[in-house]
Amino acid sequence: MHFKFTYIILLALLLHACSSLRKEVSTKSNEESKVLVGQDLIRFQKLFYNANREKVLGNLDKAANLFESCIRKDPGSAAAMYELGGIYVRTGKLKEGVYFAKQAAEIDRKNVWYQLLLADAYAQSGKYDKSIKTYQEIIKLHPEKIELYYEMSSIMLTAKQFTEAIEVYNQIEEIIGVAEDVSLQKEMIYIKLNKIDKAALELEKLIAKNPKEVRFYGMLAELYQANNMPEKALETYERLKAEDPDDPHIHLSLSNYYRSIGDREKSYSELKLAFSNERLDINKKINILLSYYSITQSFPELTDQALTLCKLLVKTHPEEAKSHSMYGDFLYRENLIAESREEYRAALKLDANRFAIWQQLLQINSQLNDYDALLEESAKALELFPNQSILYLYNGIANIQRKTFDDAIEVLQKGIELTTENRILLSNFYSSLGDSYHSNKDTIKSDKAYDKALEFDPVNKYVLNNYSYYLSQRGTDLERAKNMSESANKLDPDNSSFQDTYAWILYKSKQYEEAKKWLEKALEGGGKERSAILEHYGDVLFKLGEVDNAVEYWKKAKEHGNKSDKLEKKIADRFLYE
Which tens digits make up the pLDDT trace of 197-234?
999 999 999 999 998 888 899 899 999 989 999 899 99
pLDDT class of 383 with cuts at 50, 70, 90: very high
For 76, other C-beta atoms within 10 Å of its C-beta total 16
User: How sure is the predictor about 261, in pLDDT bands with cuts at 50, 70 and 90?
Assistant: confident
pLDDT at 545: 95
Mean pLDDT confidence for 70-91: 94
Interval 28-32 mean pLDDT: 38
Q: What is the mean pLDDT of residues 534-559?
A: 95
Percentage of residues in the chain having pLDDT higher than 70:
94
pLDDT of 6 reads 38
pLDDT above 90: percentage of residues in the chain: 83
pTM comes to 0.70
Would you give the DSSP letter of residue 512?
A: H
Q: How many CB atoms lie within 10 A of CB 508?
A: 19
Q: What is the pLDDT of residue 35?
A: 61
Cβ-in-10-Å burial (0-12, 13-18, 19+) of 206 comes to buried
The sign of the CA dihedral 448, 431, 470, 564 is negative
- DSSP letter at 210 equals -
- pLDDT class of 249 with cuts at 50, 70, 90: confident
Beta strand spans in 151-294 (E): none
Residues 518/505, Cβ–Cβ less than 8 Å: no
Cα 77 to Cα 73, 82, 100, 101, 233, distances in angstroms: 9, 9, 11, 12, 62
Residue 16 in this model has a pLDDT that exceeds 70:
no
pLDDT band with cut points at 50, 70 and 90 for residue 246: confident
- Can you give the pLDDT at residue 2? 39
Residues 148, 351: Cα–Cα separation, whole Å: 53
417-457: pLDDT as tens digits: 999 889 999 999 999 999 999 999 999 999 999 999 999 99
The pLDDT value given to residue 3: 38
Measured distance CA(573)–CA(576) in Å, rounded: 8
pLDDT value for 39 = 86
Domains of the chain: 1-142 (1.25.40.10), 211-280 (1.25.40.10), 459-578 (1.25.40.10)
pLDDT higher than 80, residue 34: no
Average pLDDT across the chain, whole number: 91
CA distance 15 to 372: 73
Distance CA 181, CA 165 (A): 14
Q: Which amino acid is at 263?
A: D
Q: Mean pLDDT, to the nearest integer, of 76-91?
A: 94
Pair 416, 426: CB distance under 8 Å? yes
> Can you tell me the distance from the alpha carbon of 5 to that of 180, in angstroms, rounded to the nearest whole number?
18
pLDDT for the residue numbered 245: 82
- How many beta carbons lie within 10 A of that of residue 170, not counting itself? 11
pLDDT on residue 9: 37
Counting every residue written for the chain, the total comes to: 578
* Nearest residue to 79 (alpha-carbon basis) of 53, 40, 105: 105
Of 353, 394, 348, the C-alpha closest to 375 is 394
Whether the predicted pLDDT of 575 surpasses 90: yes
Reported as a pLDDT band with limits 50, 70 and 90, residue 50 is very high
